[in-house]
Amino acid sequence: AQSVTQPDIHITVSEGASLELRCNYSYGATPYLFWYVQSPGQGLQLLLKYFSGDTLVQGIKGFEAEFKRSQSSFNLRKPSVHWSDAAEYFCAVGTGFQKLVFGTGTRLLVSP
Amino acid sequence: EAGVAQSPRYKIIEKRQSVAFWCNPISGHATLYWYQQILGQGPKLLIQFQNNGVVDDSQLPKDRFSAERLKGVDSTLKIQPAKLEDSAVYLCASSLDAQETQYFGPGTRLLVL
């Protein structure tokens, strides 16, 4: 069965600094991988997804993620964080676009 | 385009009571999902509908949880009777089809006392 590990529960980044959120997955076949963001009181919003092709995927709001099969990782990055990026970020792996298994999330705090 | 709508947004009940949540998916979306998100955890799929048929309910506690999607549009999720451990956010998501991106609603936050 597939699983996702997000090792960082909380991360604090200064505004304007770069960001990397870690995600490791376990899945027997080629995975479908997703990053979602959840702001307080809001539903999850899809940032980006990967299922084939170029291993570096671009998403909304300036985010990108890189699929590394050898490391079973799909880390999320942003070169310069804005205060509005403070939220909880979830990595998910799926059998296609359905049957998503989510990680426990990483809460991003942005300091001035 | 209107997003996924859910109501109520918040609900407080006592254990052993029953509760129902409602979801209106994005217009035209054939696939509908209900997730349970316990505090500190990621969402967990409870049930998936394709139109008005159940595709996957393997993680739905069927002794107390039930869900239906009449006419393949709106859906309701019911808990009867509720337990303390049912306190969570219940998220509804929809997608154009099962092989398309899921769009999530704002969720219903349930507190069972």
> What pLDDT, on a 0 to 100 scale, did the predictor assign at position A42?
81
pLDDT tens, chain A, 112 aa long: 789 999 999 999 999 999 999 999 998 777 899 999 999 878 899 999 998 888 999 999 999 999 999 999 999 999 999 999 999 999 999 877 678 899 999 999 999 9
CB of B25 within 8 Å of any CB in chain A? no
Q: Report CA-CA distances (Å) from A24 to A38, A54, A83, B13.
A: 19, 18, 26, 37
Tell me which chain B residues have a C-beta less than 8 angstroms from the C-beta of A96: 98-99
Contact at CB, A90 and B43, closer than 8 angstroms: yes
3-state secondary structure of A76: strand
Cβ neighbours for B39, distance < 8 A, ≥ 6 positions apart: B87, B88
Is the distance from CB of A41 to CB of B109 less than 8 angstroms?
no
> What pLDDT, on a 0 to 100 scale, did the predictor assign at position B113?
97
**Best mutation site among B45, B57, B96 for testing chain A: the one with the most A CBs within 10 Å?**
B45
Average pLDDT across chain B, whole number: 94
Residue range B9-43, pLDDT digits in tens: 999 999 999 999 999 999 999 999 999 999 989 99
Residue range B57-77, pLDDT digits in tens: 999 999 999 999 988 899 999
> What pLDDT, on a 0 to 100 scale, did the predictor assign at position B1?
65
How far apart CA B102 and CA B48 sit, in angstroms, is: 11
Residue range B80-111, pLDDT digits in tens: 999 999 999 999 999 998 888 899 999 999 99
Contact at CB, B44 and A43, closer than 8 angstroms: no
Q: Helix, strand, coil shares of chain B as percentages rounded to 5?
A: 5, 50, 45
3-state secondary structure of A73: strand
> What pLDDT, on a 0 to 100 scale, did the predictor assign at position B36?
97
How far apart CA A21 and CA A90 sit, in angstroms, is: 10
Contact at CB, A100 and B91, closer than 8 angstroms: no
CB of B22 within 8 Å of any CB in chain A? no
